Structure 1
């Protein structure tokens, strides 16, 4: 398993020197300043690649840009509106330029409008650490009583809507504003300028879309780009929905094993693959992560390893991000399944037998609490997570005689 680390570019509060000290060998990053639908120029890709290498030269093992996360899919492509065909062609050109720069793995998602959703970006747990949390009642309060989305209450449990109404009446405006800011933070590029009216306007564009339509549009997209990736020797990997349920009336098509089975069967070539995110998928109690790795592992090209503590007894509800080995995801069983898949690949002489993974998210601990890095991406919390995962991997490898 190749240890990688997500880095948000030169402005990241966690430096490449920090990453080197953490011991990771690969960088996961993107050209975040380039809007979706626009070609990634080869010159900018190689500039970022070389910057990463040149700023880790003190290490005996200079860092390498290992995974693009992400090459974003435009909303026009997801909806098949506006300039979507042109955007698909631009996506193909970007893939060609990424291949020329020597990067082979490209993570993307097909979530409409929202990249991820949390209601609290600094939830304090009993150790004093903070983490990201999704409170379903708070989210319903936002959806029904703050955003006032048409028909919102019909999509939620009546008892939870009642509880959300009581909370709306009892909380102050500061709490409500922070809730809105936290949810808007998951809108790509929108944190600084999206108003509630802007969100309503964007949601209205998706009003006629359902799961099947969005899935068909994803298949159309993959039929165009996956063969190009295959020819170029690239591996595309779709990230699951986060969280893995419909939100704000938006369809979600990458939330379960059945969704991923549909994805890989729709365009059945090796380049069309999976980003298995244990935290996103683990928020649902009916997702069997070790089983998914055993059954679909042949097409898993990238791994996000994090854990969640589910605060519900049903399939889905509130959750918060836990320490990497202490949540409701059975991380030892999942990592054991990953190692089994890597052994199968080695036996088959596959060049991609070492699957890149990153310690996804982490709790803010120690100096993280004042560093104020990207939400979910603290330096020390992820270092702790990487150390725990490294120990787990080494222990399981030793036990199995690898």
Structure 2
């Protein structure tokens, strides 16, 4: 398994020289300053790659090349947006960057309600609190149908939270929900989010699947021609939110994606944390089922509550059997090696992590600390070494 580290370029306060001390060998990054839908210029890709290589790393995985919201909504004439996406793929391939992670979550990326929930010994973690999310949807956003999406007990607690919440509490909740959007674009206030949701009115699961199928038809042939791998990230959280459907949340969803365009170029970014937040998902079993099409792996763990809440756990301590999952990935690497593939090793990164020690006093991207991810990487490195011996 190839150790990787997500780095946000000019938006990241962690330097590449600090990342070098973790011992990882690859950087996973993107051009977060380029608005969604625009072409990534070759010169900008080349400059980023030179910067990464000068620091002693390689850049093999893009996370992410975003899919424009109009494509997800199937809105209007999309020919130029698809052409731009294909051109960005070609420009990346020309610089040797040939694995593209992306997601098909409408409107929002990963969503949390707390960016610094307390955990043991003074560290903090990301948390999705179903009560706070219900308070946001029902009482702050005023989405009428939201009451049907939450059980009675959660609704009562949400009303109580909203009644006692200060303006600062509500502002912090909105900021947490918006924090999952990378780069410099598409942050919303409550009014802006309402307007954005109106643009998605009427989009159900079937419509979103149809739009996703069209996306695959438009871009996978180009990936095949370029020798690239596209790998979809699962929904986070793996459930409908804000009245919007999520269609990459279960093993059955992944089966649909892979069969929608049956090609080795159409694959999976296997996110243990995203899948692990759904109580119905057996994460190692799903990994074994889609193993042949896993091109990139996010290793993190979550701990779930009965009401639908969950929080980031230490990498080896959550609800997912991380040792069993890593064993599946190593077995798939061995299978690929036995078939003669020279690229049998699968890149992974320690995803998220607790903010601890000096992380707590730094201005860091939520969920992407230095010490917390290093701790996770060290634990995962030990599991990989033990299983490989």
The CA RMSD measured in Å over matched residues stands at 1.3
Greater CA drift, 71-80 or 159-168: 159-168
Instruction: Give a deviation string over 1:240-271, Cα, whole Å, max 9, x none.
Output: 00000000000101000000000001100100
Q: What SS does structure 1 have at the residue aligned with 2:122? A: coil
Go from structure 1 to structure 2 and tell me whether the alpha carbon gap of 1:190 and 1:66 turns closer, same or farther (over 3 Å shift).
closer
Equivalence for 1:4: 4
Q: What SS does structure 1 have at the residue aligned with 2:239? A: coil
Equivalence for 1:14: 14
Q: Does the Cα contact within 8 Å between 1:273 and 1:299 map onto a contact in 2? A: yes
Matches of 2:372 and 2:292, distance apart in 1: 30
| Structure 1 position 349, deviation (Å) | 1.3
| Structure 1 position 41, deviation (Å) | 0.7
Q: Does the Cα contact within 8 Å between 1:181 and 1:191 map onto a contact in 2? A: no
Q: Does the Cα contact within 8 Å between 1:113 and 1:187 map onto a contact in 2? A: no
Is 1:370 aligned to residue 364 of structure 2? no
| Structure 1 position 126, deviation (Å) | 2.0
Is 1:306 aligned to residue 300 of structure 2? yes
Matches of 1:282 and 1:200, distance apart in 2: 29
2:320 to 307, 320, 329: 329
Is 1:41 aligned to residue 41 of structure 2? yes
| Structure 1 position 67, deviation (Å) | 0.6
Equivalence for 1:157: 151
Go from structure 1 to structure 2 and tell me whether the alpha carbon gap of 1:223 and 1:319 turns closer, same or farther (over 3 Å shift).
same
| Structure 1 position 81, deviation (Å) | 1.0
Matches of 1:208 and 1:190, distance apart in 2: 28
Matches of 1:259 and 1:192, distance apart in 2: 27
Q: Does the Cα contact within 8 Å between 1:185 and 1:191 map onto a contact in 2? A: no
Q: What SS does structure 2 have at the residue aligned with 1:51? A: helix
Matches of 1:74 and 1:308, distance apart in 2: 29
Q: Does the Cα contact within 8 Å between 1:4 and 1:66 map onto a contact in 2? A: no
Matches of 2:129 and 2:187, distance apart in 1: 24
Instruction: Give a deviation string over 1:266-306, Cα, whole Å, max 9, x none.
Output: 10010000000001110011111111111110000000000
Q: Does the Cα contact within 8 Å between 1:184 and 1:191 map onto a contact in 2? A: no
Matches of 1:263 and 1:377, distance apart in 2: 28
Q: TM-score, normalised by structure 1?
A: 0.94
Is 1:51 aligned to residue 55 of structure 2? no
Is 1:269 aligned to residue 260 of structure 2? no
| Structure 1 position 155, deviation (Å) | 2.0
| Structure 1 position 84, deviation (Å) | 2.2
Is 1:384 aligned to residue 336 of structure 2? no
Equivalence for 1:195: 189
| Structure 1 position 191, deviation (Å) | 7.7
Matches of 1:20 and 1:215, distance apart in 2: 41
Equivalence for 2:205: 211
Equivalence for 1:361: 352
Go from structure 1 to structure 2 and tell me whether the alpha carbon gap of 1:380 and 1:189 turns closer, same or farther (over 3 Å shift).
closer
Q: What SS does structure 1 have at the residue aligned with 2:208? A: helix
Equivalence for 1:117: 111
Question: How many residues get paired?
Answer: 389
Q: What SS does structure 1 have at the residue aligned with 2:328? A: helix
Equivalence for 2:85: 91
Matches of 1:86 and 1:215, distance apart in 2: 21
Q: Which runs of 5+ in 1 are unaligned?
A: 57-61
Equivalence for 2:57: 63
Q: What SS does structure 1 have at the residue aligned with 2:121? A: coil
Q: Does the Cα contact within 8 Å between 1:77 and 1:85 map onto a contact in 2? A: no
Matches of 1:106 and 1:190, distance apart in 2: 20
Q: What SS does structure 2 have at the residue aligned with 1:203? A: helix
Q: What SS does structure 2 have at the residue aligned with 1:151? A: helix
Equivalence for 1:142: 136
Equivalence for 1:75: 69
Q: Which runs of 5+ in 2 are unaligned?
A: none
Go from structure 1 to structure 2 and tell me whether the alpha carbon gap of 1:51 and 1:100 turns closer, same or farther (over 3 Å shift).
same
Q: Does the Cα contact within 8 Å between 1:78 and 1:217 map onto a contact in 2? A: yes
Greater CA drift, 94-103 or 183-192: 183-192
Go from structure 1 to structure 2 and tell me whether the alpha carbon gap of 1:200 and 1:239 turns closer, same or farther (over 3 Å shift).
same
Go from structure 1 to structure 2 and tell me whether the alpha carbon gap of 1:291 and 1:193 turns closer, same or farther (over 3 Å shift).
closer
| Structure 1 position 372, deviation (Å) | 2.2
Q: Does the Cα contact within 8 Å between 2:11 and 2:183 map onto a contact in 1? A: no
| Structure 1 position 319, deviation (Å) | 0.8
